[in-house]
Amino acid sequence: GHTGGDVIHPHLYVEVKYRQRWEIVSLFEEVRERAAAEGKVPLLVVKGRMSPMLLVVLSLDDLKFWLPKEAKG
């Protein structure tokens, strides 16, 4: 199939972004350390001040683990 995203996937629209520094990565690294201390999967939820939208940050390895087999492509 064709997609405007960076990855061809039957169920997900994926765009990959690269930045030298991104504060959300630093925030997630802190969450990952605290989660590891408790033996849990790290999940970060962020919300912009003026936006009602909540975003979820999860490592790609953890996402692949939680997706149903048919959604992994």
pLDDT digits (tens, 9 = 90+) for 29-52: 999 999 999 999 999 999 999 999
- Sign (positive/negative) of CA torsion 51, 56, 59, 60? negative
Picking from 40, 32, 35, 36, the residue whose alpha carbon sits closest to that of residue 66 is 40
Picking from 46, 56, 53, the residue whose alpha carbon sits closest to that of residue 23 is 46
pTM above 0.75, yes or no: no
pLDDT digits (tens, 9 = 90+) for 46-71: 999 999 999 999 999 998 887 777 65
Cβ contact 16:5 at 8 Å: no
Q: Facing residues of 54 across strands?
A: 47
